[in-house]
């Protein structure tokens, strides 16, 4: 098996542990490859899922006038939304039998399409069953999204615009700091004597320092909001 195929098997196994902190990630070599590889065909929709319901949040096919933001989807390629959700849930880790996290994971931009493609494969077009504004069930066919073709179309249709001034490229140290700040960030408002700490993960290796006595002395009359 390829790494992606093996990772899919492991994801199914670890999801049965019912521990939200036990997940499977790609190797460093795989991530490096994904960062440089040319984007292939993609599932064109981002969706919001909750309580076995699905609505469109974004459509990569910009000319599609039917599946707009807010459209309710009931089935894809003749598979009901409930059946699709049950299948995808089997590959997402969560604590106990909680489904809220699974719905939210699929609702994050691009996650549904990525996992759906991994399990069901890529189609040249998708048959989508949806509810129209009158609440009636209709179907439509949407093509797979091809980033390269879309880029060429944009180049041919965009009016000429003067090139924007080039911004200096961030250094490797600045890029690493931005990635760390996206997960954890401590900001101190000296005027209002308030510290705000944003934590987006419980994982390790994010270089969080322990609070020492000196920290406590300096923060002794400061409110800490997490």
CA atoms within 13 A on the CB side of 155: 6
Q: How confident is the model at residue 226 (pLDDT cuts 50, 70, 90)?
A: low
Q: Which helix (H) or strand (E) holds 9?
A: helix 3-15
183-206 residue pLDDT tens: 677 777 777 777 777 776 666 666
Please give the Cα distance from 186 to 197 (Å, whole number).
4
- State the chain's mean pLDDT as an integer: 81
Q: What is the mean pLDDT of residues 86-113?
A: 90
Q: Which residues 6+ apart lie within 8 Å of 28 measured at CB?
A: none
The conformation of residue 38, written as its DSSP 8-state character, comes to: P
Quote the pLDDT of residue 155: 54
CB 89 within 8 A of CB 100: no
| Joined tokens for residue 118 | 């991994």
* Helix, strand, coil percent content, the chain, rounded in steps of 5: 35, 25, 45
What domains does the chain contain, in order, with CATH numbers?
3-150 (2.30.42.10), 172-225 (no CATH)
| Joined tokens for residue 180 | 């760390």
CB 147 within 8 A of CB 127: no
The percentage of residues in the chain with a pLDDT greater than 70, rounded to a whole number, is 77
Q: How confident is the model at residue 51 (pLDDT cuts 50, 70, 90)?
A: confident
Q: How confident is the model at residue 175 (pLDDT cuts 50, 70, 90)?
A: confident
Quote the pLDDT of residue 127: 95
Q: What is the mean pLDDT of residues 96-115?
A: 89
Q: What is the mean pLDDT of residues 97-117?
A: 90
Quote the pLDDT of residue 63: 84
Block residue for tokens 């909750």: 50
Q: How confident is the model at residue 56 (pLDDT cuts 50, 70, 90)?
A: very high
Q: Which helix (H) or strand (E) holds 128?
A: strand 125-131
């Amino acid at each position: 098996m390829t790494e992606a195929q093996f990772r899919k098997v492991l994801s199914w196994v670890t999801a049965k542990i019912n521990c939200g902190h036990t997940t499977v990630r790609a190797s460093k070599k795989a991530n490096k490859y994904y960062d440089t590889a040319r984007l292939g065909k993609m599932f064109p929709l981002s969706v919001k899922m909750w309580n076995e319901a699905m609505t469109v949040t974004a459509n990569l096919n910009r000319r599609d006038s039917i599946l707009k933001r807010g459209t309710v989807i009931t089935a894809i390629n003749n598979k009901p939304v409930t059946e699709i959700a049950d299948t995808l849930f089997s590959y997402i880790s969560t604590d106990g039998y909680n489904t809220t996290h699974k719905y939210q994971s699929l609702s994050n931009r691009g996650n549904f399409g990525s996992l759906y493609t991994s399990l069901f494969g890529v189609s040249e077009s998708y048959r989508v069953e949806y509810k129209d504004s009158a609440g009636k069930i209709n179907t439509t066919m949407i093509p797979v999204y091809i980033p390269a073709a879309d880029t060429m179309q944009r180049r041919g249709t965009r009016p000429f615009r003067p090139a924007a001034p080039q911004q200096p490229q961030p250094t490797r140290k600045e890029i690493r700091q931005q990635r760390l700040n996206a997960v954890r960030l401590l900001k101190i408002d000296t005027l209002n004597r308030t510290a705000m700490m944003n934590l987006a993960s419980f994982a390790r290796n994010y270089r969080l320092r322990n609070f020492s006595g000196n920290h406590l002395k300096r923060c002794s009359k400061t409110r800490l909001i997490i």
